[in-house]
Structure 1
Amino acid sequence: MKRIDVSEESYNNVTNILATIAKPFHVRKGEYLQRAGVLATQVHWLASGVARSGFFNREGQEVTLRFYREGESATTLTDLINGEDGLPAVQFLIAETPVHGFTLDWKIASELRSQNEGMQQYHLNIAMHGLHALAQRAYSSGETSAQERLAAFREEYPGLEARISQRAIASYLGITPQYMSRLRREAELASGEPRQA
């Protein structure tokens, strides 16, 4: 609620509305919640676990866009919108840890939102938060060093580094896993304390 600047009343109202269409799901680590090339029709709300979104660039390399944690909707919004026109998803969503949560049918959720002004404001706050995060990420990716990007990752996702693979973090930072290892070793030396794997 604090992250997206909504009241407890608003959060509870939207949660109660969406609970009527929510279906429980569970995936193991490494399983896809959404595959690129397939129509995106579901929003995934995470009750526990971590998911990652990304895409494959022209060279076939995996590019990580963001991570989703407990209490967040793992969603690739542009794919859901494009899916309304029958276009397949460009991004994937994959479980970085075992994930439990609820799926919501995008079309039904959109119809519910169109009928409820409070829900519209709630989702506008989420969209604004997402746009702000996207702008920060674009700046960080293009104008900062790998060390600065790692520091920004740790600030944006506190505690996440210990829960997911070094390869996933390296993909997010736009560096190789080998360089990621080097950055971590340098950080250990600078702090005098070994980081947990």
Structure 2
Amino acid sequence: MKRIDVSDESYSNVTELLAAIAKPFHVRKGEYMQRAGVPATQVHWISSGVVRSGFFNRDGIEVTLRFYREGESATTLTDLISGETGQPAVQFLIAETPIHGFTLDWKHSCELRAQHEVMQHYHLNIAMHGLQTLAQRAYTNGETSAHERLAAFREEYPGLEARISQRAIASYLGITPQYMSRLRREAEAASGAPRG
């Protein structure tokens, strides 16, 4: 709530409104929640677990865009908007850990948003936060070293490194898993931390 500048009251009101259309779901680690090439129609609210979003570039290489954790909606907004007209999603959502949460039909969510000002404000804040995150990520990827990108990842996602694969982090940082291992060893050596 602090990240997106939403009050406890607003969050409670939105949660109460969405409860009417929320359906519980569970997926195992490694399962897709949204596939690239299939129209996106669902918002996934995460109660527990970590979800990774990304896409496949022209060479077929997986590029990780971000991670979603507990209390967040794992959503690719542009794909949901495209899905309204049946266009296929560009991004995927995959479970990095077992996931428990709730799905919300995008069309029904939009209908509720149109009827309730509190939801309009809430979704605007989420969209603004998403734009800020995207802009920061573009800068970090384009203007910093791999060491700085790893430091930025650790700051943005505290504690996440221990919960997900090194391969997923490497994909997010735009480096190979082998180079990721080297960065970790260098970071441990610099901090004097024991190797695990």
Q: Percent identity?
A: 84
Cα-to-partner distance string for 1:134-161 (whole Å, 9 max, x where unaligned): 0000000000000000000000000000
Name the CA distance, whole Å, in 1 between partners of 2:95 and 2:117: 33
Gaps of 5+ in 1: none
Describe the shift of the 1:24–1:181 C-alpha distance in structure 2 as closer, same or farther (beyond 3 A): same
Q: Distance in 2 between matches of 1:109 and 1:194?
A: 48
TM score, norm. by length of structure 2: 0.99
Cα displacement (A) at 1:194? 2.8
The one-letter code of the counterpart of 1:123 is H
Deviation at 1:124? 0.4
- Which 4+ stretches in 1 moved above 3 angstroms? none
* 1:3 to partner: Cα distance: 1.1
The answer as to whether partners of 1:146 and 1:173 remain within 8 angstroms in 2 is yes
Partner residue of 1:96?
96
Q: 1:160 maps to which residue?
A: 160
Match of 1:127 in 2: 127
Map of 1:1-12 to 2, 5 A cutoff? 1-12=1-12
Distance 1:161 1:195, change over 3 A: farther
Matches within 5 A, 1:28-43: 28-43=28-43
Which stretches in structure 2 are left out of the alignment for 5+ residues? none
Task: Name 1:181's counterpart in structure 2.
Answer: 181
Q: TM-score, normalised by structure 1?
A: 0.98
- SS of the residue aligned with 2:167? helix
8 Å CA contact 1:32, 1:95 repeated in 2: yes
Question: After superposition, what is the alpha-carbon deviation per residue over 1:15-34, rounded to whole angstroms, capped at 9, x for unaligned?
Answer: 00000000000000000110
Say whether residues 1:146 and 2:146 are aligned partners.
Answer: yes
Q: Please report how far the alpha carbon of residue 55 of structure 1 lies from its aligned counterpart in structure 2 after TM superposition.
A: 0.2
